[in-house]
Amino acid sequence: MKVINLSDYHRFSHEKMKKNNIFQTPRFFCDIYCFEPGQEQKGHVHGEQDKVYLVLEGQGTFKVGAEEKVLGPGEGTIAPAGEEHGVFNHTNGRLKVLVFVAPNP
């Protein structure tokens, strides 16, 4: 059994949002996305993958389709396959987001 500690996956990059992979199988992956202030994951579409975002720390602006909302710790959303989605850290603090994508692209 693989056992992890989430604190081992909180790595940031000053250049761009950092994806820290936790688990990956042929059917899904799970990452922690770490955003410094002002960083973003530009809007994009996964044709056949659903994505779940769960905020661990900080606040961010999440866009799914035509909707945009600020989410904070303990809040999350889903980006269904085919919907454009992205995240922007509009704050002066760091943002950590747990992400699940299935099936694995």
* Residue % of the chain over a pLDDT of 70: 98
CATH number of 11-102: 2.60.120.10
- The pLDDT of residue 103 is 84
Task: Please check the confidence at residue 105 and state whether its pLDDT lies above 80.
Answer: no
The yes-or-no verdict on residue 104 having pLDDT over 90 is: no
pLDDT tens digits for 44-83? 998 899 999 999 999 999 999 999 999 999 999 999 999 9
Contacts of 103 by beta carbon, 8 Å cutoff, 6+ apart: 26, 27, 28, 48, 49
The structure's pTM equals 0.93
Residues in Cβ contact with 68 at an 8 Å cutoff, skipping those fewer than 6 apart: 61, 62
